[in-house]
Amino acid sequence: MDFLELLRTATAQNDSMLCVGLDPDPERFPGAWRGDARKMYDFCAAIVDHTADLVCAFKPQIAYFAAHGAEEQLERLLQHIRCHAPQVPVILDAKRGDIGATAEQYAKEAFERYGADAVTLSPFMGFDSVAPYLDYPGKGAFLLCRTSNPGGDDLQNQRLASVPGEPLLYEHIARLAQGPWNRNGQLGLVVGATYPAEIERVRALAPTLPLLIPGVGAQGGDAAATVRAGLRAEGPIIVNSSRAILYASTKENFAAAARAEALRTRDALNAARARTA
């Protein structure tokens, strides 16, 4: 199955719009594992095993592994997901953004080395920085659009006087992704949960694209507002929570606590969906 088929299947099978972000910080590991970067695979694999029936996707963040020279553990983790949760798609959170042969290598890294189903990208350098990822049929590519960090205003909320209608930059990205850039139906958008009004605006401009929405949980995004703003029958949402789930407990029961928090978050999202139906 391609990425969108996997996403629809996992969403239906697990009755879930929740994505668990896998951002392993050894300094927050439980007990004897604390500070031990060699345990990144073990920690994340335990989270996967305890939450795979509750999620529509997993989103490993490559920087957490690369900072510790743990890319081999990331490879093992994706292999583990494919073996033990083959119905759940993997979004590699890499936020790559380069052109030409370099972009081709980054695409090869994401889809051939790691075997991810989708990847996050920065569109700042234009379509030729996105195109190499679209050469992989069935793979997904999520473009940063309206991110949850305060500094996103520095560029994303600026008006483009040279574009008809003078849209904000994030609005222009949404239109491009819904329209001319989405040649093979592979694109989605990243929109932060901390800006529900912007989620609604992006959804109006990109009614059919999948939206990857980080920021629920530790960053303070509201689950109900996120679902109301972004979910449409023809446009799925993938609501990510990372730290609130990964570090629900710092004790030996961390995986069970992560499952309990994932279940709570999934059910809160589903309750919001029921209220907006």
Domain extent listing, the chain: 3-25+54-246+264-276
Cα–Cα distance between 181 and 174 in angstroms, integer? 10
Per-residue pLDDT of the chain (277 residues; tens, 9 = 90+): 899 999 999 999 999 999 999 999 999 999 999 999 999 999 999 999 999 999 999 999 999 999 999 999 999 999 999 999 999 999 999 999 999 999 999 999 999 999 999 999 999 999 999 999 999 999 999 999 999 888 999 999 999 999 999 999 999 999 999 999 999 999 999 999 888 999 999 999 999 999 999 987 655 568 888 998 999 989 999 999 999 999 999 999 999 999 999 999 999 999 989 887 6
* Distance, C-alpha 127 to centroid of its chain: 20
Q: Which CATH class is domain 3-25+54-246+264-276?
A: alpha beta
- Amino acid sitting at position 249: S
- Of 222, 276, 238, give the one whose Cα is nearest residue 11: 238
- Of 258, 255, 247, 200, give the one whose Cα is nearest residue 228: 200
HSE of 14, CA atoms in CB hemisphere, 13 A:
29
**Whether the model pTM is above 0.85:** yes
In angstroms and rounded to an integer, the radius of gyration of the C-alpha atoms of the chain is 18
Catalytic residue, from 95, 108, 139, 251: name it: 95
Decide: helix, strand or coil at residue 239: strand
Asked about 59 being catalytic, the answer comes back as no
Write the CB contacts of 124 (distance below 8 Å, at least 6 apart in sequence). 97
Q: Which two tokens stand for residue 128?
A: 């030729």
